[in-house]
Structure 1
Amino acid sequence: MAGEMSILGSAILALFLAGYLGQQYLPPPKPRVIGLDLGTTFCSVGVFHPGVGDVEVIGDEEGRKSIPSVVSFTPTQVLAGNEAQELADSSPQNTIYDAKRFIGKVFEPEDLEQESARYPFKVVYNNGSAEFLVSTNHTFTVSPEFIGSRLLLKMKKMAESHLGVPVQKAVISVPAEFDERQRNYTIRAANLVGLDILRVINEPTAAAMAYGLHKADVSNVLVVDLGGGTLDVSLLNKQGGMFLTRAMAGNNKLGGQDFSQRLLQHALERVRQQFGVLPIQKEDIHSLRQAVEAAKLNLTLQSSVLLQVPLHLEVGGLGDPPKPVLFQETITREMFEELNADLFQKILAPVRTVLEEGQLEKSEVDEVVLVGGSTRIPRIRQIIASFFGKDPNTSVDPDLAVVTGVAIQAGIMGGAWPLQVSALEIPNRHLRKTNFN
């Protein structure tokens, strides 16, 4: 018996030694499963590298770690990401965004009409579902899951180009409030481009994993997810290695786009004051919109930025040919905060609601984590820190928190070494999200 135990022990030791030597001297295997964050405004794809245990968020051909969730149709092409975004001003009726708001959702005709009124493209009702009407060299409709599939195909190709191997399996994230139908339609979008979805994970749980909270000694985690178009606040309770979503609230009409729009309106008014007319050329409005968006991003790091935008304005009067002018305006962080003061304060309403519904005092929240690029805005971080009396956890890039967590889960599903602790979710089918509009 002692001899058999000795042989067994030697065999186990040999296996560990072989694994160690393999890790040290052999190239690590390619990731077998990718992690996908199909966001409302931006999308990202990441992988967990076996052997080294690092998460890598894969960039596009320009090295950008996320792509706009935009798909545009031309007579000859279907474009996705940044190429599609470039057509948003010149071909607004055929450039679809925010499709995630519609995927798998059941509408009444009047509700869909109200929801779609703010978009420049046409949304039509089809037996309870939303579809998008596209007119290029002919007119046709496409489903929200088809739009999602084009974005997922773009990210699949990004991953395959970077890794040098075909990709067929993935883990994907969805909002915690997505019902079974919305989750299934998200999976359907992935299936359309040949992806087998091994697991669907809630976005707040993915974010908590990115922050390492599935391995930390915490009980109550509040996730503030403020992206380009939506605010989602989730209260998670960790029980062992499992996360229970105790409460959800949000505002599906509040995000970075709204902050940019306030700044754009200010810039347009300043153009009118300086030159007496407003820009009417699509190219000028597009340039001004891009400059404003860049200014908003730079104001997270700088106290002021200078807008410099060449425009073509009819400054001589109606009927005169447009003349080239240079619009210049200094934008300060203080000015940006004043323009958006009321919107920033709206962030606290869903925070208070999830605490009330979760029956928690704010002092009982162990960690406040930030997700979404708009949480970079210093004033927003100040408002959250002041409310809780402590700074939120900012150790992870908020733009990439969800995709990082999904990539970790993808590594787990792929059996990657070194092994990770998986975060399990306790389903709460009776939970409903409170929305503030």
Structure 2
Amino acid sequence: MAGEMSILGSAILALLLAGYFGQQYLPPPKPKVIGLDLGTTFCSVGVFHAGTGDVEVIGDQEGRKSIPSVVSFTATDIHAGYEGQELADSNPHNTIYDAKRFIGKIFEPEGLEEESSRYQFKVLYNNGSAEFLVSTNRTFTVSPEFISFQLLRKMKKMAEKHLGVVVEKAVISVPAEFDERQRNYTIKAARLAGLEILRVINEPTAAAMAYGLHKVDVSNVLVVDLGGGTLDVSLLNKQGGMFLTRAMAGNNKLGGQDFSQRLLRHTMERIQQEHGTPPTRKEDIHRLRQAVEAAKLNLTFEPSVMLRIPLHLETGEDPEPSKPVVFEERITRELFEELNADLFQKILVPVERVLAEGHLDKEEVDEIVLVGGSTRIPRVRQLISEYFSKDPNTSVDPDLAVVTGVAIQAGIMGGSWPLQVSAIEVPNKHLRKTNFS
């Protein structure tokens, strides 16, 4: 018996030594599963590397870690990501974005008309679902999941080119409030792209994993996700490796685009004051949108920025020729915050609601984590810090927090070493998300 135990012990030791030396000296295996963040305005793909335990967010050919969630249709091709975004000026009616707002969602005709009024492309009602009208050399409709499929396929190709292997499996994130239909339509889009989805993970849980909260002793985690189009606030309760979503609230009409819209409106009013006529050409308005968006981003790091935009204003006397002008104005961070003061205050409304529904005092929140590029805005961080009397955790790039967490989960699903605790989400069928307009 003693001899058998000795042989068994020697065998176990040999296996451990083989694993150790293999990890030290053999090249690590290629990741088998990718993590996908299919965002409303940007999307990303990441992988978990065996051995090192590092997450790598894969860039495009220019090294950019996120690609716009934009797809543009021309007579000869379909362009996704930055290629699609670059065509938005010349092809606005066939350039589709924000498809995530529509995927798998059931609409009433009036609700869909209101939701689609902000877009230059045409949204059609089809038996409760939304479809996008495309007119190139022919006219046809495409579904939101088809737009998502184009973006997912592009990210799959980015991963395959970078890793040098065929990718067939993935973990994907969705908003916590997505119902079963919306999740299934997201999975359908992934299948069209040739991907088997091993797990669908909620975006707040993914963000918590990105911050390493699945491995530390915390109980109550507040996730504030402020992206380009929506605000989502989730209160998570962690018990061991399990995450329970205690409460959700948000505003599906509040995000970075709304902050930009306030600045755009101000800029158009200033142009009319200065030149006597507002810009009406689609090309001018789109150029203004781009300049305003860039100014908003720069105001995160600079106290002021200079807008300088060439325009062709219609004189009103004759449609042609237009009047070429250059509009210049310095925009300060104080002005930006003043223009959006009421919108910024709305961020705290769902925060207070989730605490109330979760029966939690704000002092009992262990960690506040920020997700989404709009949480970089200094005034947003200031509001959250003042409300909780402590700073939120900003150790992870908010644009990449979700994809980082999804990549960790993908590594776990693929059996990567070192082993980590998997994020187990406890379903709560009675949980409802409250939205504030």
Name the TM-score, length of structure 2 as normaliser: 0.96
Give 1:3 deviation, angstroms.
Answer: 2.1
**1:125 alignment partner in structure 2:** 125
Query: What amino acid sits opposite 2:170 in the alignment?
Result: A
**2:238 alignment partner in structure 1:** 238
**2:326 alignment partner in structure 1:** 326
Give 1:318 deviation, angstroms.
Answer: 4.5
**2:65 alignment partner in structure 1:** 65
1:178 alignment partner, SS class = coil
| Identity over aligned pairs, percent | 82
CA offsets, 1:41-68, max 9 Å, x none? 1111000011111001111111111111
Q: Following superposition of structure 1 onto structure 2, how do residues 11-26 of structure 1 map, counting pairs within 5 Å?
A: 11-26=11-26
Give 1:110 deviation, angstroms.
Answer: 2.9
1:309 alignment partner, SS class = strand
Give 1:330 deviation, angstroms.
Answer: 1.2
RMSD of equivalent CA atoms: 1.7
Change (3 A) 1:106 1:321: closer
**1:139 alignment partner in structure 2:** 139
Maintained 8 Å contact 1:90/1:282: no
CA offsets, 1:94-145, max 9 Å, x none? 1111111111112233332332233222222222222112121211111111
Q: Distance in 2 between matches of 1:35 and 1:145?
A: 18
Q: Distance in 2 between matches of 1:19 and 1:184?
A: 39
**1:50 alignment partner in structure 2:** 50
**1:305 alignment partner in structure 2:** 305
Q: Distance in 2 between matches of 1:406 and 1:7?
A: 42
Maintained 8 Å contact 1:275/1:315: no
Q: Distance in 1 between matches of 2:47 and 2:349?
A: 35
Query: What amino acid sits opposite 1:428 in the alignment?
Result: N
Change (3 A) 1:122 1:328: same
Give 1:314 deviation, angstroms.
Answer: 5.2
1:187 alignment partner, SS class = helix
CA offsets, 1:261-288, max 9 Å, x none? 1112222223333333333443333332
Runs (4+) off by over 4 Å: 314-320
Q: Distance in 2 between matches of 1:304 and 1:93?
A: 33
**1:433 alignment partner in structure 2:** 433
Gaps of 5+ in 1: none
Q: Following superposition of structure 1 onto structure 2, how do residues 172-321 of structure 1 map, counting pairs within 5 Å?
A: 172-313=172-313, 318=318, 321=321
**2:389 alignment partner in structure 1:** 389
Q: Following superposition of structure 1 onto structure 2, how do residues 388-427 of structure 1 map, counting pairs within 5 Å?
A: 388-427=388-427
1:28 alignment partner, SS class = coil
Query: What amino acid sits opposite 2:53 in the alignment?
Result: G
Matched, 1:116 2:138: no
**2:34 alignment partner in structure 1:** 34
1:352 alignment partner, SS class = helix
Gaps of 5+ in 2: none
Name the TM-score, length of structure 1 as normaliser: 0.96
**2:369 alignment partner in structure 1:** 369
**2:342 alignment partner in structure 1:** 342
Q: Distance in 1 between matches of 2:158 and 2:40?
A: 19
Equivalences, count:
437
1:399 alignment partner, SS class = coil
Q: Distance in 2 between matches of 1:223 and 1:281?
A: 40
Query: What amino acid sits opposite 1:29 in the alignment?
Result: P
Give 1:324 deviation, angstroms.
Answer: 4.3
1:398 alignment partner, SS class = coil
Which stretch shows the higher mean deviation, 337-346 or 303-312? 303-312
2:399 alignment partner, SS class = helix
